[in-house]
Structure 1
Amino acid sequence: MTDPKALRPAERLDEFLSLVGQTAWNPDADLQAIAEWLPRELGAEMAIVNGSLKSVELSTSGFSGRVLGHLEPMLTRLATGRVASAAMDVGTAHVRLEAVGAELPRRVLVLVSPIPLTRQAAALASHTGGIIAVLRRARESDRVIRSYQQKAHQLRVGVIMALQAGDPLLARRMTTGAVPELLDHDRLRVHILRCGKGDRERIAQAYQDPSGYHGDGLMVRCPVYDDHLVCMIADREGGGAEAADGLAAVLRDLVADNPGYTLGISGTHPLPATAEAYGQARHALAVASNTTGRVAGYHGQEPLERLLPRTEAIEWAGSVLGPLNGLPELTAEITRFALHFHRTGVARMLNVSRNTVAAHLDRAQSALGLDLRDVRCRPTLALALGVAGLHREVWLTPAQADPPALEELLRTRPAAEWGSTFLEPLRDSRYDPVRHTLRTWIDTNADAQQAARRLGCSRTTVAAHLRTAERRLTRDLLSSGSGVHDLVYALHLSGDTPL
């Protein structure tokens, strides 16, 4: 390595600025390299001391902390701003002290050398200490910014969770003083961008406004799926899934520019129906990867619960959900989420342990008399909760001595037409193997391995048929519970499988 003293001043400055540049743009870089530059240049050891705590925050390798014991009370005077600099001798060493920064208590630059420093050397040391202080301040600012970004993310998650619960007013209360523009609109669309886990925060920050939102939309890293970026965008009058401007256009451009990205888009929904919009976007996302352009909008039907006879549906749902009224609210919430997400995802979403989720689900199963691991039982509870979401009086309906049976609700013309329309994309004889696989898959409790054994084919073939069904039916069958729930009811209404 070239001897620094043999370098010309311009070369020495270039070496120093190179060190500063490498450190400034790398938040994990060690400031020690800049500190060690001083002994090589000046023959002096250096330390940055926290003046109030008398602790060394950064020092050169040859600095001895014992010297600090001889610097009182001058360290206190410098830290409190009473003096700006001082020089003193400690034994045979010459010590120079200089307050660094503007905040109180101030840091103190301590220089220890065997001989007094020249004015030029002292100025160089002072500038070096100042640069180190600036870099430390910049890192503190970076930490504050990262903390702000995390808090902004947490607030956005809270807003979206309130909307998912159908309560826009609660979302407004949570954001008093900085209400997101999204909440000033009546309707929205949910877009889900599947991208790299590390890309989500970069994208969310790139389009974030000073308030921590995204104009008339919100971007949030999905707490359940590590590769999902959930984007809720206000549906302006005249806008649609093919909107060519704003955040929706940004998402489409991202998919066009990145071959590994896909995008699912819901239909337009009122804010209280955000949960339904989110479910549609998940179904569309499952289709997007198999479509040209890797962008898909939802083109499915109305939910089955909207087609059931109102009075009978309320009485039936009340009889199913009645036992939940006596359980803790968290149990009911975990049970609802578990119908649409895997248990680990529910735990992450609600910030509880997976064991806690399992315990609450065991309690709910016992109370409801349903096996929530059974692919035919889950749709029953999901449908009842769907009815309750449409008709709040379900929770106020007293238990009926002889409530309507589910079969009676489904034995109606609208329900039959719903089931027939659902399966229409698979009516062609080319898709007979796919329908046969779907029936077998449901009969084996949605276990692809068991279905493959029963069908006498490979698990890969079963997976391929399921992906074909996803694309044709516009339903997510492999990661979303609601798609499977609809499939169970459609197959039952067609006479293919019993409930």
Structure 2
Amino acid sequence: MADADLAGLLREVRRQARFEDTVGKVLDWLRRQTSAQVALVQDATTVRSSTTGFPHEVLSPLAPLLARMAGGQLASAATEAERLHVHCEALGSSEPRPVLVVAGVSKPTPETISLTSHVGSVLTLLRRAEDGDLAHRGYQDKARQVRLGVLHALLAGEPVLARRMNSGAVPPLLEAGGLRIYLLRCPQADRDRIPALHQDPAGFHGSDLMVQCPVIDEHLICLVAENEAQRDPRGEETAELLRSLVRDNRGYALGISAVQPLSATAAAYGQAVHALAAARATTERVASHHGRSRLEGVLPQRAALNWARTLLQPLDSVPKTSADITRLLMTLPRSGVARLLGLSRNTVAAHLGRWDWISTTSAPEPPSTWRWP
């Protein structure tokens, strides 16, 4: 076969690689070179792609032969069917193997057989590339789902559950003593690109975790470990990476929570949301949560505790899940909480409804002896 033929085949592959039906374009190229009709048959019966004039009636008498080739018993074969000369090439080694079927009115020449073999090799490589792309996309999807599952567990105050979800490959974040949440606001395309760019082979981000927010398309939730003994060198760069992204992109903003234990991730998230709102009003577009004076510090301790216990006693009968959902509703709309936790809005409303009877209960008045400083 002439080198020009091979060069033409490679040019066709490079030219058509950007199109979805690359296989069909290669088959059309082979038809133009050989004047024969071509089809790629999968599972011994299904035509994945073919040239426009391919005689599908030849496949029925070829069925036993195609089954043997798909099963790995034959690599190539030549026969006649429906008054046509047929040459078949099995592709690859993974069973069931696809089969390249070339049918023409005249017996194929050695040059045609050679060119068909080369086309088969190219299609095998294209198939492997396609399988690799599918596997990579599948891995990325699963990694994203696991990261979101870990976030859900931590928001529910269940770090042990988050560890069980990653048995055998527990990310360092879940072994840390605490965390901060860095909430980055950026365009959605960047929000999706940043985690993929910085993830490690396990699908995490060193000692930290970046999760696309399931509620707000422009938010990237970054859980940064705060236990230095457990930190990975890559993880130490996460905070500075996020700050540098804000410095370099005027449309970005960053809200940073205070340090919280893993079981208080929901509280850290709420702090980061408020900090982000403040950050968007500053020239630096970065703000940290500095906390507030705790109420018990300005109240008489014994009297305040007795009053608080009386006020909050009805809450003891409310399930923890309902309390967690209500806490998130202080920061997000009802539909946002449903998306964040993977629940329906009716389920969120049902949990919220558990509080209705409490709101009708008369709250005790604060002791008249309290004096505000």
TM over 0.5: yes
Structure 2 counterpart SS, 1:103? coil
- 1:210 is matched with 201
Judge conservation of contact 1:191–1:231 (CA < 8 Å) in 2: yes
Amino acid at match of 2:313: G
Farther-moved stretch of structure 1 (269-278 vs 81-90) = 269-278
Q: How does 1:147-226 map to 2 (within 5 A)?
A: 147-226=138-217
TM-superposed deviation, 1:145? 1.8
Judge conservation of contact 1:191–1:263 (CA < 8 Å) in 2: yes
Judge conservation of contact 1:335–1:364 (CA < 8 Å) in 2: no
Aligned: 1:74 with 2:65:
yes
Change (3 A) 1:336 1:91: same
- 1:364 is matched with 354
Alignment match of 2:308 (pick from 313, 333, 358):
313
In 1, Cα distance between equivalents of 2:297 and 2:156: 18
Aligned: 1:17 with 2:10:
yes
TM-score (norm 1): 0.66
Judge conservation of contact 2:152–2:341 (CA < 8 Å) in 1: no
Farther-moved stretch of structure 1 (296-305 vs 260-269) = 296-305
Judge conservation of contact 1:51–1:78 (CA < 8 Å) in 2: no
In 2, Cα distance between equivalents of 1:113 and 1:222: 57
Aligned: 1:143 with 2:134:
yes
Structure 2 counterpart SS, 1:293? coil
Judge conservation of contact 1:323–1:368 (CA < 8 Å) in 2: no
- 1:49 is matched with 41
Aligned residues: 365
Alpha-carbon RMSD: 3.0
TM-superposed deviation, 1:110? 0.6
Structure 1 counterpart SS, 2:273? helix
Q: How does 1:367-406 map to 2 (within 5 A)?
A: 367-369=357-359, 404-405=364-365
In 1, Cα distance between equivalents of 2:138 and 2:369: 52
TM-superposed deviation, 1:140? 2.6
* Structure number having the greater helix percentage: 1
TM-superposed deviation, 1:310? 3.8
Structure 1 counterpart SS, 2:284? helix
Change (3 A) 1:90 1:270: same
Structure 2 counterpart SS, 1:72? helix
Change (3 A) 1:72 1:162: closer
- 2:23 is matched with 31
Aligned: 1:285 with 2:276:
yes
In 2, Cα distance between equivalents of 1:340 and 1:262: 18
Change (3 A) 1:335 1:300: closer
Structure 2 counterpart SS, 1:193? strand
TM-superposed deviation, 1:144? 2.2
- 1:40 is matched with 32
Judge conservation of contact 1:222–1:228 (CA < 8 Å) in 2: yes
Farther-moved stretch of structure 1 (339-348 vs 134-143) = 134-143
- 1:441 is matched with none
TM-superposed deviation, 1:116? 2.1
Structure 2 counterpart SS, 1:282? helix
- 1:324 is matched with 318
Change (3 A) 1:245 1:349: closer
TM-superposed deviation, 1:16? 3.6
Change (3 A) 1:323 1:66: same
Q: How does 1:96-115 map to 2 (within 5 A)?
A: 96-115=87-106
**Which runs of 5 or more structure 1 residues have no equivalent in the other structure?**
1-7, 371-400, 417-499
Aligned: 1:87 with 2:78:
yes
**Which runs of 5 or more structure 2 residues have no equivalent in the other structure?**
none
Cα deviation per residue 1:226-247 (whole Å; 9 max; x = unaligned)? Answer: 11000001124499xxx99511
- 1:4 is matched with none
In 2, Cα distance between equivalents of 1:231 and 1:29: 39
In 1, Cα distance between equivalents of 2:305 and 2:148: 34
Q: How does 1:413-452 map to 2 (within 5 A)?
A: 413=372
In 1, Cα distance between equivalents of 2:99 and 2:156: 54
TM-score (norm 2): 0.87
In 2, Cα distance between equivalents of 1:15 and 1:264: 56
Judge conservation of contact 2:57–2:82 (CA < 8 Å) in 1: no
Change (3 A) 1:71 1:303: farther
In 2, Cα distance between equivalents of 1:36 and 1:190: 55
TM-superposed deviation, 1:72? 2.9
In 1, Cα distance between equivalents of 2:22 and 2:321: 46
Change (3 A) 1:77 1:244: closer
TM-superposed deviation, 1:259? 1.9
Amino acid at match of 1:367: W
In 2, Cα distance between equivalents of 1:270 and 1:345: 24
Judge conservation of contact 1:97–1:110 (CA < 8 Å) in 2: yes
Judge conservation of contact 2:258–2:291 (CA < 8 Å) in 1: no
TM-superposed deviation, 1:281? 1.2
In 2, Cα distance between equivalents of 1:219 and 1:353: 25
Structure 2 counterpart SS, 1:31? helix
TM-superposed deviation, 1:307? 7.0
Change (3 A) 1:99 1:152: same
In 2, Cα distance between equivalents of 1:20 and 1:59: 16
